[in-house]
Structure 1
Amino acid sequence: MEATTVHRFQYSSPWIDWRNFEVNPRGSLRYSQRSKENKRLRVLALAHFQPDKRRDHRQRSLSDKNSSALLETGSLLHSPFDEELILKRKAEEIKPYLNGRSMYLVGMMGSGKTTVGKIMARALGYTFLDCDALIEQAMNGTSVAEIFEHFGESVFREKETEALKKLSLTYHQVVVSTGGGAVIRPVNWKYMHKGISIWLDVPLEALAHRIAAVGTDSRPLLRDYDDDDESRDAYTVALNRLSTIWNARGEAYTNASARVSLENITSKRGYRSVSDLTPAEIAIEAFEQVQSFVEREDGMARPGGL
């Protein structure tokens, strides 16, 4: 079998950085793969934080080949492949500073905690766990909606606290999707603060559209309705109920270690609506906010905050 090792030039030149090149066994010169990847990631990172007003459905489905061509011309558009590279790099950057701590995603119902959490867990090499699923398992497979119906919300909240306690004391390197109401009990914050809590802050209007589209059967706090609701459209009904819930919980979400504002990401990317954001883009922003949190945490831990 022919040897496939390559030799790197050691010569110097005022015009060429020979460290970026390799020579194969046949003696021909080629650009090193590592340099290609680093160059690609640098451009991807810069492109991610520049407004992009031209993205459409066709651009989302660009192949890897087309993405590479766009990269060479400087007209990078966001494809899933590109987002995966950025996610991987961001995860590699922050993971050493996490010290194995778990992450707890909090936010209103429908904010995407499960979807975003799975993406973050995969990028970090963590395990993903859904708090509601753990509660259902502890209740012998009884669904959350059935727990509310047959046992009441108070029983569900007790089981939720038990699950968070177990997660914080016995699990490490996990990303946890919590229920929308996990934030209302102070003791739950005690457990979540053993890790890093991340608030997915989504506008109520966007949440109402999402929930109206899929229905409220799996969301017990939205299933009860007034007689007036029958004459209203699903979006208006969902928005009214979400507003009531937000008034009771909104302040509690600010206890989170990091806040991921979908409105801020939308503005930064130059999109028209938060619905244009991909889950991967939200996960990337979550890593950015976690990085800011650990940097602040590190600064406060030093003498004099220096």
Structure 2
Amino acid sequence: MNDLLATLSAAHFGAFTAHDAYDCGYNRESLSQLVRSGRALRVGPSAYVDRNRYAAASPERQHEMTTRAVVRTFDGRVYASHYSALTLMSLPIFGAPLDHIHVTRTADSLSRRRPGLSIHTAYGPGAGLLIGRTPSVTAALAILGAAMTCGIETGVVAADAALANGKAKMDDLQTWLGRLSRHPKVTHARQVVQLADARSESVGESRTRLLLNAIGFRPTPQVEIRHPQGRLVGRVDFLLERERIIVEFDGLLKYAGADGREALAAEKSREDRLRALGYEFVRLTWADLSRPATVERLMRLAVARAAARRAT
């Protein structure tokens, strides 16, 4: 890759188009040679990425690079949209097929679908912005689009994070929800707006909250529990105050090595202090989030233990 194309590609996060390459001194044959040599990867019609950068990237960042390249081939006529836009914003994606790109037209009502790409009709005024030189829909639209395409869980995971870090506001979500009222899957988007909560601090916590809601529990996220004398005993992921049950999402927490043993001891001490105040614990892992029947059983057992504790 010559210096001109390398510089241009770097400015677009590793993405470039065939026309970019031609402007930098390549022709069809030399661009094909660039691909054959392993220095560039074709990711769509006239869309390319820096192969080394792509190979070193996570699946989400690979999707971002592909999205930027594909959008660039449309020369300003489309925005990155749906969950593809979420990757540009570094918002979390869960449950979305990363081998498929979504874009939305900037100014007309034609929609198309081809292998690996969906082109959606325009949303209207105020839909877009630039993210690192790539046209994109707003965060609110990306979240609602992801929900309508992939489901409620995908939308809530992104909405929680966007509300927490200020990339979206609830007013924006509600405004665009009203403008999308005739979309056939607007029910998914409506539920996302109802369920989104900025207090969840990770994908795992968002999914935990949704699962608990689905099996009949309404936990309060990120609660500080204090001793009757006022001192802080611990901040917990979720609390069911009436049932006096604490739910914690453990994620990928490891307790290996000296630091891990120290962390485990501190966590056990914290849990003992909270139990002494009359709380029951339920700890969930990534695997548990795919087993709702197991989680419901764990929760019902905790409810029974809490009731027995109160009866003594």
TM-score range, shorter chain: under 0.3
TM-score, reference length from structure 1: 0.25
Structure having the higher strand fraction is 2
Structure having the higher helix fraction is 1
Higher relative contact order (CA 8 A, sep 6+): 1
